[in-house]
Amino acid sequence: MTIRHPFETPPEPGQAVEVAPGILWLRLPLPMALDHVNVYALADDDGWTIVDTGMNSKKTRALWEAVLAGPLAGKPVVRVLLTHHHPDHVGLAGWFQDRGAELMTTRTAWLYARMLTLDVQDRPGPQALQFYARAGMPAEMLAKRAADRPFNFADVVAPMPLGFTRVEEGQILRLAGRDWRVRLGQGHAPDHITLWSDDGLVIGGDQILPGISPNIGVFATEPEADPLTDWITATDSFKPHARDDHLVLPGHKLPFTGLPFRLAQMTDNHHQALERLLEHLRQPQTAVGCYPALFRRAIGEAEYGLALVEAVAHLNCLLRRGLVSRSLGADGACLWQAL
């Protein structure tokens, strides 16, 4: 069994595709290389539950107004179910809350999202700059980052009022006439919600994607973290529950079937990347020096930061396994080497 895409054409902006009775698939634009995010609307007697929201922008709000008046038939959004705290998913949660919607998510996702919207910085802090330097970021790029305003959640995430409803591992949610079991993913985002219905649907968010791997990164907020081990463990935990006929509704790209194959493929890809990295580390390398082994393609400036945090994640995984050493060089960059 391989991956198949029952719906080959994504919905047009402001439109929707019914992927199962009572479940609409919508797509919203993003201002980046991955130029869209998928959101889903689940029909309930009292209105709609939407899963994720897109970023907060004038264009996205206008699209939602068109969707509310069109495919959602003027019925209210009564709940927003947030899979995880990243801005392309949480961006308009507060906007919907201000219109009376209930926010449902994990405690971790809510705390991260609300904290990050309140943490507005004009310039990177010393901890962030030290993190980049220790990863081996070139001095010219580091100086440019030090002088520029960093990305702030508040730029693309609407203010989030107090109050949410907590979702937990193993919980059963009744949505769109179905029972959905909550299974939490890890690694891409802490306590990432996935939903598994009693009739063969899986809402995967960014935890389960076709064709691309979610970014798994280590950041200055927790530089010793090992999210790759967390992600592999979570993905392995899904495998006993996966069926070939599950229809997976992902946060990006197209809905797909063939979930057992895809879960195995996702973990195999990272195991192979770790093997390539360990071979590469026969000679000492910085995290940036590991790009060729991990990505096997040129990394441009636009994707440099995501590549950096993912390289550190793979290195921290090997360090946790006791397979590499790490030392601080005279230039302030960490050097990693296979043992």
CATH number at residue 64: 3.60.15.10
What's the structural domain count of the chain?
1
pTM: 0.96
Q: What's the pLDDT at 187?
A: 98
| Domain assignment of residue 155, yes or no | yes
Cα–Cα distance measured from residue 116 to residue 194, given in angstroms and rounded to the nearest whole number: 22
CA–CA distance from 237 to each of 139, 261, 263, 269 (Å)? 42, 14, 10, 17
Across the chain, which has 339 residues, the per-10-residue mean pLDDT values are: 93 96 97 94 96 98 96 94 98 98 98 96 96 96 95 97 97 97 98 97 98 96 97 98 98 98 97 98 97 91 93 98 96 97
Q: Using one digit for the tens of pLDDT, what is the confidence trace for 169-182?
A: 999 999 999 999 99
DSSP 1-69: ---B-S--SPPPTT--EEEETTEEEEEEE-SSSS-EEEEEEEEETTEEEEE------HHHHHHHHHHHH
Residues of the chain by 3-state class (helix, strand, coil), percent to 5: 35, 25, 40
Q: What's the pLDDT at 33?
A: 86
| Residue with token string 């580390």 | 281
Q: Strands, DSSP E only, in 90-238?
A: 102-105, 165-166, 172-175, 178-185, 192-197, 201-205
| Domain assignment of residue 291, yes or no | no
Cα–Cα distance measured from residue 113 to residue 239, given in angstroms and rounded to the nearest whole number: 29
| Domain assignment of residue 136, yes or no | no
Q: Using one digit for the tens of pLDDT, what is the confidence trace for 214-236?
A: 999 999 999 999 999 999 999 99
- Decide the pairing of beta strands 102-105 and 165-166: parallel
| Domain assignment of residue 205, yes or no | yes
Query: What is the DSSP secondary structure assignment for residue 245, as one 8-state letter?
Result: T
Q: What's the pLDDT at 302?
A: 84
| Domain assignment of residue 132, yes or no | no
Cβ proximity of 49 and 176 under 8 Å: yes
| Domain assignment of residue 39, yes or no | yes
24: domain range? 17-123+150-272
| Domain assignment of residue 217, yes or no | yes
| Domain assignment of residue 293, yes or no | no
CA–CA distance from 242 to each of 174, 213, 249, 268 (Å)? 20, 18, 14, 16
